[in-house]
Structure 1
C-alpha cells in the first residue's frame, strides 16, 4: 500500500491520548476540589466536557477513517470548532476558542509522547501571544511572577485563573509584545494595566522599594492579626473567616480570625454517592470547633440546589435553578436531610460556641418553622438551651423584612454575592455582566442599611460574609452602615483588621449614609477612594 497511517492504529492512538489528557484533567480537578478552588474546578470541568463533545470526536474519527494521521485529524477537528465559534461574532464565545486550543495542544503532546517543558528563571515575567489555562497552571507552579499576552480577553479562563492565583496578568497588549527580546527587564503594573518596556534603574529601584514596603506591611499586619480590631473611637468590629473545612479553620485561627463567620457545610455533601451520616457530620463540625480554640463558629445549614447539585439528591431539572429549590427551600422538600444535620450540630461541644445560620430565607415562616424544629430536637436530645440561630440575608425580600426576621433571629448575616445578583438581576457567572455585579451599588447599600436598622430595633447584630467583607475599600462603608462583624477569606484577616483600626466609626456613619444617594457602584467606589484612601 501507499504506506499511509492505518486507521485502526490511529484511532487507538487518539483514544489513548484522549484518555491520558482526561486523566490529567481529573487530577487537576481533584487538586482544585481539595483546595476548594471553585473557579479552577469549573474551568477544567468544562475542558473535560469539551473532550466528550460528540461533534469534535466524530469529526476527528471520520478524518482518520479517510486515511489521515491522528495528529492532523485532531488538529483540524479543533480548528473547525474554533472557526465556528469565531464566526458567531460573540466575544465571549471567541474567548472560549482558547480552551479548545489548550486541548488541541494537550492531545497533540500526548499523541507525540512529548511533555510540557519550559524552564523559567526565578522572578520571570512570561510574555506570549496567548497562554492557555493549562499553560497557566504549569507557569504558576514554576514560579512565574507575572504574565502578559498579545491576545486574550479579561474574561478568558486564563485571566480568571491568574486572578485566583494572585498572578498579575495583562491581556490584549498587541502583537508588538512578542518582539520584546528575552531577558529584557520590564515593569508589569497590573493595577494600571501597563507594561513598561524600558524602565531606567531609578524606576526599577522604585518598584523594588514599593514591593519591599508591601511585604513589610503584610508582615506587620500578620503580627497584629491576633489582636482585636477597634476603630479609633473605640468601636469593636469582629473580623472572622469564611471556611469550608477544619483544615481551613486551622489556617483561619493561625491568621488571627476572631471566629468562623461562615462554615459552608456543602464540603461534606459533594463528590460522593450517599449523604454523610449524623456521626460523620458531627465529627466534622466538632473538628472545626476544636480548630478555633475558644472562638465562636457559625455553621450554615446545607445550601445545595441552584448551581450545586448532588448525585444522590435527584432534584427536578429547573429552567432557572438559581431561582429554584435551593438553600432552606430544599430543606422543606427534603426535611430528613436538614433534621439529620441539625441533630449533628446540636451534639457538638461546647454547644454555646456553635451558631446555626439558615441560607436563602425569604419569609418569616421559614425561620419560625426551623426554630420550632430545633426546639423539638433540643427537647428530644435533652438539651436545655437552644444555640443562637441566624438568618442569611441574600434574597432582597429578607433585607426588606429584616426587622421582622430580627425579632425571632439572634443575628443576621448578609451574603453580598447572592444579594447583589438577585437585586441587580445579573448572573455573577455571566462573563459579559460579571464586572457589573458590584455589591457597592447604591441599591445594595440601601438594603444593607435597612438590614442593619431593622436588626438594631431588636438589639441584634449584623455580619457580612459575602465577598464585599473582604474588600478593604468597602470596610468603612459597612462599619458606617452598622455592620459589626466581617467574615473574610482567611489570608485577609490581618489586612481587614488593620483597615478597621484606621477608621473613625462616627465619621464612617456620617459619610456612608450619603453614598446611598449616589448613581452607581463606580460613583460609590470613587467616593470611597476620596473619603478613605487605601494607603
Structure 2
C-alpha cells in the first residue's frame, strides 16, 4: 500500500462475531526470548535441573491462579484449558526429556525448553486432526511461560497495547487471549488460527470480534491505520472512506437496535406469522449458562452437556456427585423442561479411569452410547443420578450418537429397571440424538423406543459428508446448511410425522436458516444462551406452513 489514504479490504474467516472499529496496532511477535543454545559445564547440570524445577513450580502456581480467574470472570468450561496447561508443564515424560536434553547436550534449562517443546509442537502439527494441531498452540503457550520464568521476564508483550485498538497479530495463544480480557480493545485480526482453537473459544466467550486467516496481514496493514472490522462476515476494511464509515456505523446501530428490541421481547413466546408457537431452549453446561439462558427468555434447557463432570476425574463420579452437579447447574431452570444428554465422550477424548484401545479413526469409533453400552455400570450410575433429579426437575433423557434401534432400546430397558428399583414413576421421556445419516433414515425403527428426536447438526454434517469437522484440510466439505442436511431432516419428519423434532446443533442458532428448519417440521430449537432473543425474533418473522403434529 503506497498511499495511506488508499482503501484496502481483506477477507478472512469469522472466528468470533461482532462489529468494531479502531486504529490498527501491529504486534509482530508475542514470542518469549529468542536465544541461541547456552552451554553449561558438567558441574552446572544439577543447577539447571534446580532452575527448571523452580520455574515449573512457579508457572504451575500462575496457571492454577489463571484457571481460577477464568472460571470467575469468563467461563467455567474454559478454566480447564489452563488446568490442562498445568498438567502439561508437570508431565513426567516431558520433565524427563527436558532433564535428558540438559544433561546430554550440556545446555541451559531455557535452551532445553526451547528445543524439547518445539519437538513436541511439531509432533502435534504433523497430526491430521485439527484438535491435535491446536494442541501445538497449548504446548507453545506453556513453553513461553516456562522460558520467561527461567529468564526472569514478567512483562507481557501485550501489556502496553493502546486502549480501543484493533490488534493485528500473526496468531494468539490461549493466555494471550485471556490477557486481553483486562485490556479494552475493539477487535482482533489474525493471520493464523482455527475456529475451534482455544483462543477462538475465549474470544467468543469474551464477545471480542475476531477474524482469522487474513492473508499477509502484518505486511499489508499499517500501524495506526483506521479499520472497520465486520467479524460477522469476516471482512476488514483499512483506511475506509467516509461513506464506508457511515454505512458501517449504520449497520452497528441497526444490529444494536435489533438486539435491544429482541431482548425486550425475550419473555414473549416465539410464535410464527402463521400462528405456530416454537419452543426455544438453551444449550448449557454450567450454572452461569442456565442463569443467562433463563434471563434471555429460554423456555428451558434443550441440551445439558454432562462431560465437564467427568473430564479430569481420576475415578468416575458417583450418583450423589453427579446429582449435586446437575442440581447446581440446572437450578435456574427449575419448573421448566430440562434435557440431559448422556455422557458423550469417546476415544478422541479419553477418560482417565477407562483404558482405551488405540483407534485409527476415533470419530468412527466408540463414542456416546457405544461407549456406555460397553461400560454398563457407567450408564447405570448416570441414569440413577438423572432419575433422582427427576424427583425435583422436569427431566428428559437424550441418548447421543445413536445409530441402531438397539442403542436406545438398551437405555430404555435400563431406565425402566432402575425406575422400578428407585420407585420413580412416571419415567423421564427418552429421546435420541440424530447425528448420523443411519439414524435419520431409521426414524421409523427408532420411534417405538423414544418420545422425541433431536438433530445434532454438527455431527450429522460430519458423517453425511465424511468430513471431520476438526480437520482443516477438508473444511470445504463441511457445510451444515447444505440441502443434504435439510433433506435428511425432512425425510425424518415425513417418516415419523407425529414425532416431536428439535435441533440443538449450531445451525439452530443462525437466524437465516430458521424458516427452512421450521418447514422441515422442527418445532423446538436449542441454542447458546446469548442467542435466545435473536432466534425468537427470527421465528416471529417466519412461517411454518402446515403445522407439524405433536406427540406427548
Q: TM-score interval w.r.t. the shorter chain?
A: 0.7 to 0.9
Is structure 2 residue 116 aligned with structure 1 residue 116? no
Deviation per residue, 1:211-253 (Å, 9 max, x gap):
2332222222111111111111111111101111344222211
CA distance in 1, matches of 2:496, 2:406: 18
CA distance in 2, matches of 1:291, 1:83: 45
CA distance in 1, matches of 2:391, 2:385: 13
Give the 5 Å matches for 1:465-480. Answer: 465-480=504-519
Is structure 2 residue 272 aligned with structure 1 residue 226? no
CA distance in 1, matches of 2:426, 2:54: 61
8 Å CA contact retained: 1:25, 1:48: no
Question: Which residue number corresponds to residue 204 of structure 2?
Answer: 164
Q: Measured at CA, do residues 76 and 250 of structure 1 come closer, stay the same or move farther in structure 2, by a change above 3 Å?
A: closer
CA distance in 2, matches of 1:148, 1:449: 39
Deviation at 1:64, TM superposition (A): 7.2
8 Å CA contact retained: 2:340, 2:398: yes
8 Å CA contact retained: 1:246, 1:284: no
8 Å CA contact retained: 1:240, 1:257: yes
Deviation per residue, 1:271-328 (Å, 9 max, x gap):
2233333233334444455421431111122223333322223344433333333322
Question: Which residue number corresponds to residue 7 of structure 2?
Answer: none
Give the 5 Å matches for 1:134-283. Answer: 134-149=175-190, 151-152=191-192, 157=197, 160-161=200-201, 164-165=204-205, 166-174=208-216, 177=219, 180-182=222-224, 184-191=225-232, 193-283=234-324
SS in 1 for 2:346: coil
CA distance in 1, matches of 2:184, 2:401: 41
CA distance in 2, matches of 1:94, 1:282: 35
Question: Which residue number corresponds to residue 544 of structure 2?
Answer: 505
Q: Measured at CA, do residues 201 and 341 of structure 1 come closer, stay the same or move farther in structure 2, by a change above 3 Å?
A: same
Q: Which has the higher helix share?
A: 1
Q: Measured at CA, do residues 465 and 109 of structure 1 come closer, stay the same or move farther in structure 2, by a change above 3 Å?
A: same
TM-score normalized by the length of structure 1: 0.80
Is structure 2 residue 347 aligned with structure 1 residue 306? yes
8 Å CA contact retained: 1:75, 1:104: yes
CA distance in 2, matches of 1:272, 1:278: 14
Deviation at 1:62, TM superposition (A): 4.0
CA distance in 2, matches of 1:432, 1:204: 36
SS in 2 for 1:127: strand
CA distance in 2, matches of 1:162, 1:289: 23
Question: Which residue number corresponds to residue 522 of structure 2?
Answer: 483
Quick one: higher RCO (CA 8 Å, sep 6+), 1 or 2? Answer: 2
8 Å CA contact retained: 1:306, 1:325: yes
Question: Which residue number corresponds to residue 50 of structure 2?
Answer: 12
TM-score normalized by the length of structure 2: 0.78
Question: Which residue number corresponds to residue 292 of structure 1?
Answer: 333
Worse-matched range after superposition: 329-338 or 285-294? 285-294
Q: Measured at CA, do residues 69 and 209 of structure 1 come closer, stay the same or move farther in structure 2, by a change above 3 Å?
A: same
SS in 2 for 1:318: coil
Deviation at 1:483, TM superposition (A): 0.6
Deviation at 1:411, TM superposition (A): 0.8
Query: How many correspondences in the alignment?
Result: 502
CA distance in 1, matches of 2:40, 2:286: 56
Deviation at 1:58, TM superposition (A): 4.6
Question: Which residue number corresponds to residue 408 of structure 2?
Answer: 367
Deviation at 1:54, TM superposition (A): 6.3
8 Å CA contact retained: 2:397, 2:429: yes
Deviation at 1:91, TM superposition (A): 13
Gaps of 5+ in 1: 510-535
CA distance in 1, matches of 2:46, 2:199: 40
CA distance in 2, matches of 1:285, 1:154: 32
SS in 2 for 1:473: helix
Is structure 2 residue 361 aligned with structure 1 residue 320? yes
Deviation at 1:85, TM superposition (A): 9.4
Give the 5 Å matches for 1:1-40. Answer: 6-25=44-63, 28=66
- Give the aligned CA root-mean-square deviation in angstroms: 3.9
CA distance in 1, matches of 2:381, 2:114: 52
Is structure 2 residue 421 aligned with structure 1 residue 380? yes
